[in-house]
Amino acid sequence: MITNPTRQRTLRGHKAARPGLRAANTAEHQAVLAWRLTPRDKWIARMLWEHRVLTSHQITALAFPSARSARMRLRELFSWGVVDRFQPFVTVGTSPMHYVLAPAGAAVLAAEDGVDVKAMGYRHDRAFGIAHSLRLAHTVGVNEWFTALVARKADVLEAWWSEARCARHFGDLVKPDGYGRWQGGARRIEWFLEYDFGTEVLGKVAAKLTGYAALAQATGITTPLLVWLPTSRREATARQLLTRAWRELDDQRSVPVATAAAEMLNPETPHPSPADDVWLPLDTASGPRRGLSTLLDAWPHIPPPAAPTSEADTAQPTSPPPSPMPPTAPRGPAGA
């Protein structure tokens, strides 16, 4: 899917799911969930709260060994009111089921964090609002981008922040589509992501470089910016605009930029992902493309990011982001 993402114009509306019996979100039902929900179930609920919406394909790639096991467990979570689902209408074929956090799942997360659901900021209508949002395709595309990194089992995606979390941290200066930290072998790199879906004016993406420069100056941390585009032709145009804006910065070294195009990925490989050799630094006119693990070689002035700590986000008023890597699935019927 990362090589051929669904376009927003193909998502014409909301196709209602088949009706089914569901448990009422009562105190007694939440007590029953205490022994029904596994750590992986709670992790799925927290990922839905962090990233708003995940498709059945994405949840399968993130947390399940097969589509059948994912389908069975998600059906149970839906019947228990932990997750909700919708299926967008597409003109050709059938779209996958899209999942959002449901009230019972929000109550479980709020209880774990020691707050009530209102303080958590959850509202069922807002959670389902993504079904009709004009940013649905973009949100699913960004989540697919990071999911492809998690599916690459040989390496580790250590951090994955949503657009909303990035806005809470850096929104006064810049609002990236996501933040990530990746460990490939003995190397580690972190970045901000600008995910272009082919619909945004490229000049707006280039204009964001001043915000990233201000953020680097305010924090004293140089964080690479990765710009992901759908086609090589659009990448070439974006590189011209980005280069022009980048050269106007007071400190160009504080905003290292690299670009890549989705069509450069080889769909025949087992797990095509943004970690492949598709990245070209902005200050490199030509030359071999780099993978995520070797991008820092192009910017020797950037120190590798420090190892992650559990207190990295505890100073914030919200709960820390969930780990992108799911907990080990338990054995037995509960985790089947």
pLDDT grade for 329, boundaries at 50, 70 and 90: low
Q: Are 178 and 214 in contact (CB under 8 A)?
A: no
169 assigned to some structural domain: yes
Identify whether residues 94 and 209 lie together within a single domain. no
1 pLDDT more than 70: no
Q: Can you give the pLDDT at residue 282?
A: 94
Asked if residue 311 belongs to a domain, the reply is no
330 part of a folded domain = no
Residues 175, 124 within the same domain: no
Domain containing 170: what range?
163-298
Residues 39 and 107 in one domain: yes
The residue type found at 45 is A
Is residue 144, in this structure, part of any structural domain at all? no
Digit-coded pLDDT (tens) for 282-304? 988 777 899 998 999 999 999 88
Per DSSP, the three-state class of 24 is coil
Domain match, 104 and 179 both = no
DSSP character string of 238-273: HHHHHHHHHHTSS-GGGS-EEEEEGGGS-TTSSS--
- What CATH number is attached to the domain comprising 109? 1.10.10.10
Q: Is residue 131 part of a domain?
A: yes
- How far is the C-alpha of 210 from the C-alpha of 294, rounded, in Å? 26
In this predicted model, what pLDDT tens digit does every residue of 64-82 receive, in sequence order? 999 999 999 999 999 999 9
In terms of domains, do 167 and 128 share one?
A: no
Is 130 in the same domain as 25?
A: yes
Beta strands in the chain (DSSP E): 13-15, 54-55, 83-89, 98-101, 156-161, 178-184, 187-195, 225-229, 257-261, 280-281
The reply to whether 128 and 219 lie within a common domain is no
Same domain for 110 and 186: no
Q: Does 114 lie in the same domain as 43? A: yes
Assess if residue 219 is contained within a domain: yes
122 and 175 both lie in a single domain: no
Q: What pTM was estimated for this model as a whole?
A: 0.88
Are 65 and 169 in a shared domain?
A: no
pLDDT at 26: 81
> Does 209 lie in the same domain as 131?
no
If one counts the domains in the chain, the total is: 2
Structural domain includes residue 182:
yes
